[in-house]
Structure 1
Amino acid sequence: MRRSYVFCLVVVCITILIFVWMVRGSLCELHIRQGNTELSAYLAYEVEKC
């Protein structure tokens, strides 16, 4: 039973990573709220100066 929960968590994390990778050019901030749970993802980067 516990293995099932870990598998579900891995699937959710991979799905979120793929989604962020797909929209990385236009994504600055992502909020998902479901009941008492909130997921926030922020895109932060620094541009290298040559």
Structure 2
Amino acid sequence: MVVPSSHGGNINMLTKYALAAVIVLCLTVLGFTLLVGDSLCEFTVKERNIEFKAVLAYEPKK
């Protein structure tokens, strides 16, 4: 079932785009983490009113 929104768009279509955007963001962060994982301690992405922060907590080798 497709429900039109008040601005003429399609809620189902917007949901698909939002899901795709979240998947792309997660894959980007995962790829970046794999590339610089040995030296990464903290990673922060700020986009408008959304902030994504990943912190690596570990014990250094003795």
Indicate whether the TM-score tops 0.5.
yes
Aligned to 1:31: 44
Identical residues among aligned pairs (%): 38
CA distance in structure 2 between the partners assigned to 1:25 and 1:18 by the alignment:
13
Aligned to 1:42: 55
After TM superposition, where is structure 1 displaced by more than 3 Å over at least 4 residues in a row?
A: none
Question: By how many angstroms is 1:47 displaced?
Answer: 6.2
CA RMSD, Structure 1 to Structure 2 (Å): 1.8
How many positions carry a matched residue from both structures?
A: 48
Give the number of the structure whose alpha-carbon radius of gyration is greater. 2
Instruction: Point out where structure 1 has 5 or more consecutive residues left out of the alignment.
Output: none
Aligned to 1:6: 19
Instruction: Point out where structure 2 has 5 or more consecutive residues left out of the alignment.
Output: 1-12
